[in-house]
């Protein structure tokens, strides 16, 4: 068992923490005035705890403010409450570490208390009883009644069970002074149960546990001294020199404590203390204890009996414990008990008659050694905490420099609409280290490249736990700047829909701008629909599913999500296809966000961005955009999916002078030759569905935004054949891609 000094230090550190937890950043006055600091330095660990706690208090306005300074970017999007919670967490973590450092050095200095021992059962040979006797019933009831007892403050229990017929059972339980109330009662309950098992049918028995004693008898034992049986434990270290001095000092200390304990009241007869050292020996410590039911004379006689038995059992032994049913004592050369000034007044000096100078020198030497230990124990934690603080500041400074670019990007111009600043906090969990992405993509090797465009390259990667990812690495000269990059991160962090690509993470380091998506096996729609061989794989069932999926994704953005979002860059290359060819809308760099409470009136922008051929005319020429802008792009996509041709590639033969795709389809519609625009590879499937989808596509690309349907109406048109489609007007003529 560890020495009690370590246990007490832990408890005091918990007390420090209690004060700390409730924001008392000054050291509690009650600790300064308490018995925590004594000339014996018994509570050196607590002193270290005090000093570290004081350092934490002094550093509150400095260290913690430094932490907030280094983490300053949090202030831009965290509320004041969250910031205060963060500060509180830092304080608690710092203090836990301080207490830990306080205890570590003392663990090295602490002596191990070998007081733990196996229970010693003594079945006294003073008669037996039968299993069915009245005494047996009374004893069983007495032991059972222990479970219903309430714990007592002084650790002494006097019990009896039965009438006065001569078969009454009597019992006494006693705990060591420092044992807690509940632990004491639990120890006595265990001792009683086990004693009746170990000594069945015995009328008198006693057992000593490490923390308690229990005895029972068939005769009255309260107030009566009993010195047998006895038990002695020794540490095994014998005195080799100056035995006379040692025995005199030992007996002197025990005699002094005996008088104090015997004079104790009816609740406790206990004393503890120490005696001056002798030449060649350390300071002595001892405790004596009697059951408090004894008279002063009986307690004195019981302890004298024990002292007189020392020569026969434990002569000249360093480390002695002696027990009898009515009293016990312990003698050591180190402090094994909890210090209590009320129980341990300053002892008178006990010095050898023939060598007082040597004793004095030994006293000073002992104090010097103790002082050295105290200095070491205080300095080491402070030095370690100082080193920790320096390392922490360096790490925070490194993280601040590393995160500077990221913070600059994320704070640079807010999103459109009334998006709250704390929305930035949603992206913290998505941060991915650049080194992690380098490893996942094999250093962005060409073998893992999935595609390349004006924005940069897309690579396939695999995280260490096996998850496949698509890594979009933006090039420095791409058209997608920091605003678009930030826009996509913050939007996709909020959106969850089966027809929208899922953002897994992002990375900002130096000039690197990287987005990490879920891996979509079949790449983008344009790689299938505009490839003469791959589009053979897309029958009408698959293409119709794509049209419906894109419509559902747009409907979610426009009406069903937390915010209303206009994509503004819907095109075939931004539609990704998963393993089952389900479409997923991607690339939200140009998206515009509005609160659901805002009216969806037209908006204007001076910065027109997107892909010609998919832009609505009012947006391409005047910067005017609304949800109908996305509806126009959807109509172009529908016609491309059915015809297998690009809108910006001219007519059926690809001639530069040929009419654009929308004009060609419109002419065929007017001339009633619309079946000729259907992709020749679509040899199977419902022609009526194909014609209906072309009709819906033409309704979506009408020149006037007011006449275009909303995505809610488009979804109704696709899913309900009872809905009569209106006649489309002439589509807009848009410029080719530049």
Q: What is the dihedral of CA 42, 47, 48, 53, to 10 degrees?
A: 150
Third-level CATH fold of 120-217: Killer Toxin P4; Chain A (3.30.430)
Q: What pLDDT sits at residue 647?
A: 85
Structurally, what CATH architecture does the domain formed by 231-335 represent?
A: 2-Layer Sandwich (3.30)
The more confidently predicted of residues 513 and 734 is: 513
Q: What pLDDT sits at residue 358?
A: 37
CATH number of this structure's domain 526-719, picked from the four choices 1.10.510.10, 2.30.250.10, 1.10.443.10, 3.50.50.60: 1.10.510.10
**Does the predicted TM-score (pTM) go above 0.75?**
no
Kindly report the average pLDDT of the chain as a whole number. Answer: 74
Average pLDDT over residues 117-132: 85
Among 153-162, 215-224, 413-422, name the one with the lowest average pLDDT: 413-422
Tokens linked to 585: 């809308």
Q: Which of 301, 569, 630, 660 is catalytic?
A: 569
Q: How far apart are the C-alpha atoms of 230 and 327, rounded to whole Å?
A: 10
pLDDT of 268 over the 70 cut: yes
Q: What does the DSSP 8-state code read for residue 285?
A: E
Per residue in 401-447, pLDDT tens?
A: 555 555 555 555 444 443 434 454 556 677 888 888 888 888 888 88
Asked if 665 and 671 touch (Cβ cutoff 8 Å), the reply is no
Based on the number of CB atoms within 10 Å of its own CB, is 13 exposed (0-12), middle (13-18) or buried (19 or more)? Answer: buried
> Buried b / exposed e across 229-243, counting CB within 10 Å, b at 16+?
bbbbbeeeeebeebe
Q: How far apart are the C-alpha atoms of 284 and 2, rounded to whole Å?
A: 19
The CATH code for residues 421-518 is 3.30.200.20
Judged by phi (left if over 0) then psi (alpha if -120 to 50, else beta), residue 295 lies in: beta
* Non-local CB neighbours of 570 within 8 Å, separated by 6+ positions: 550, 554, 585, 614, 630, 633, 634, 637
Name the segment(s) of the chain with CATH classification 1.10.510.10: 526-719
pLDDT of 473 over the 80 cut: yes
* Non-local CB neighbours of 587 within 8 Å, separated by 6+ positions: 488, 569, 574
Give the long-range contacts of residues 152-159, CB within 8 A, separation 24 or more: 152/181, 152/184, 152/185, 153/181, 153/267, 154/267, 154/268, 154/292, 155/179, 155/181, 155/184, 155/212, 156/267, 156/268, 156/291, 156/292, 156/293, 157/185, 157/188, 158/222, 158/293
Using DSSP bridges, classify how beta strands 503-509 and 468-474 pair: parallel, antiparallel or unpaired.
unpaired
Q: What pLDDT sits at residue 707?
A: 93
Name the segment(s) of the chain with CATH classification 3.30.430.20: 120-217, 231-335
The more confidently predicted of residues 376 and 662 is: 662
Instruction: Confirm whether 569 is a catalytic residue.
Output: yes
494 carries a ligand binding annotation: no
Asked if 380 and 387 touch (Cβ cutoff 8 Å), the reply is no
Asked if 376 and 46 touch (Cβ cutoff 8 Å), the reply is no
Name residue, tokens 């049209």.
Answer: 547
Confidence of residue 217 (pLDDT cuts 50, 70, 90): very high
Give the highest mean pLDDT range of 344-348, 378-382, 594-598.
378-382
Name the segment(s) of the chain with CATH classification 3.30.200.20: 421-518
């Amino acid at each position: 068992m560890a020495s009690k000094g370590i246990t007490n230090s832990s408890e005091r550190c918990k007390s420090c923490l209690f004060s700390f937890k409730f924001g008392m950043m000054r050291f509690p006055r009650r600790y300064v005035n308490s018995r925590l600091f004594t000339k014996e330095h018994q509570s050196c660990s607590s002193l270290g705890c005090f000093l570290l706690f004081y350092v934490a208090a002094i550093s509150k306005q400095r260290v913690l403010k430094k932490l907030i300074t280094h983490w300053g970017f949090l202030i831009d999007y965290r509320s004041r409450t969250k910031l205060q919670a963060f500060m509180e967490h830092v304080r608690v973590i710092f203090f836990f570490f301080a207490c830990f450092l306080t205890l570590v050095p003392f663990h090295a200095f602490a002596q191990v208390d070998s007081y733990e021992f196996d229970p010693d059962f003594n079945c006294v040979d003073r008669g037996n009883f039968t299993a069915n006797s009245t005494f047996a019933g009374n004893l069983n009831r007495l032991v059972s009644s222990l479970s219903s007892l309430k714990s007592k403050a002084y650790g002494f229990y006097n019990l009896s069970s039965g009438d006065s017929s001569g078969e009454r059972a009597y019992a006494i339980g006693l705990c060591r002074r420092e044992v807690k109330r509940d632990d004491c009662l639990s120890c006595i309950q265990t001792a009683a149960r086990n004693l009746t098992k170990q000594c069945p049918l015995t009328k008198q028995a006693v057992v000593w546990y490490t923390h308690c004693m229990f005895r029972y008898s068939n005769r009255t034992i309260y107030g009566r001294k009993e010195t047998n049986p006895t038990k002695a434990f020794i540490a095994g270290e014998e005195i080799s020199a100056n035995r006379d001095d040692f025995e005199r000092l030992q007996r002197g200390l025990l005699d002094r404590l005996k008088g104090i304990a015997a004079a104790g009241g009816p609740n406790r007869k206990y004393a503890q203390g120490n005696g001056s050292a002798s030449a060649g020996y350390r300071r002595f410590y001892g405790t004596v204890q009697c059951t408090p039911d004894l008279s002063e004379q009986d307690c004195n006689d019981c302890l004298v009996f024990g002292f007189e038995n020392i020569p026969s059992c434990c002569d000249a032994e360093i480390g002695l414990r002696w027990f009898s049913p009515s009293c016990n004592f312990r003698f050591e050369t180190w402090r094994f008990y909890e210090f209590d000034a009320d129980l341990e007044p300053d002892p008178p000096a006990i010095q050898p008659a023939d060598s007082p100078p040597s004793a004095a020198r030994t006293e000073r030497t002992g104090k010097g050694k103790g002082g050295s230990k105290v200095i070491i124990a205080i300095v080491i934690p402070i030095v370690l905490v100082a080193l920790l603080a320096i390392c922490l500041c360096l790490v925070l400074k490194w993280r601040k420099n590393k995160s500077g670019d990221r913070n600059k990007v994320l704070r640079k111009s807010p999103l459109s609409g009334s998006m709250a600043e704390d929305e930035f906090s949603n992206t913290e969990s998505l941060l991915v280290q650049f080194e992690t992405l380098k490893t996942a993509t094999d250093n962005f090797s060409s073998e893992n490249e999935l595609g390349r465009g004006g924005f940069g390259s897309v690579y396939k990667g695999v995280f260490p736990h096996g998850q496949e990812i698509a890594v979009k690495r933006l090039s420095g000269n791409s058209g997608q700047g920091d605003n678009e990059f930030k826009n996509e991160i913050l939007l996709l962090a909020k959106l969850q829909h089966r027809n929208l690509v899922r953002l897994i993470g992002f990375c900002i380091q130096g000039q690197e701008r990287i987005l990490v998506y879920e891996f979509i096996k079949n790449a983008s729609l344009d790689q299938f629909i505009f490839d003469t061989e791959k589009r053979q794989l897309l029958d009408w069932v698959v293409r119709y599913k794509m049209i419906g999926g894109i419509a559902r994704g747009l409907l979610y953005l426009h009406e069903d999500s937390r915010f209303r979002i206009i994509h503004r860059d819907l095109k075939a290359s931004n539609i990704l296809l998963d393993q089952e060819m389900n479409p997923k809308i991607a690339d939200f760099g140009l998206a515009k966000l509005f609160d659901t409470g805002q009216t969806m009136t037209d908006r204007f922008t001076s910065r027109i961005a997107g892909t010609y051929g998919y832009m609505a005319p009012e947006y391409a020429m005047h910067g005017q955009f609304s949800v109908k802008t996305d509806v126009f792009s959807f109509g172009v996509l529908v016609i491309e999916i059915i015809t297998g041709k690009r809108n910006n590639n001219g007519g059926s033969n690809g001639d530069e002078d040929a009419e654009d795709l929308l004009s060609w389809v419109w002419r065929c519609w007017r001339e009633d030759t619309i079946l000729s625009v259907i992709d020749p590879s679509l040899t199977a499937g419902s022609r009526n569905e194909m014609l209906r989808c072309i009709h819906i596509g033409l309704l979506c690309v009408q020149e006037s935004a007011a006449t275009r349907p909303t995505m809610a109406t488009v979804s109704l048109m696709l899913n309900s054949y009872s809905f009569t489609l209106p006649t489309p007007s002439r589509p807009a003529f848009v410029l080719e891609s530049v």
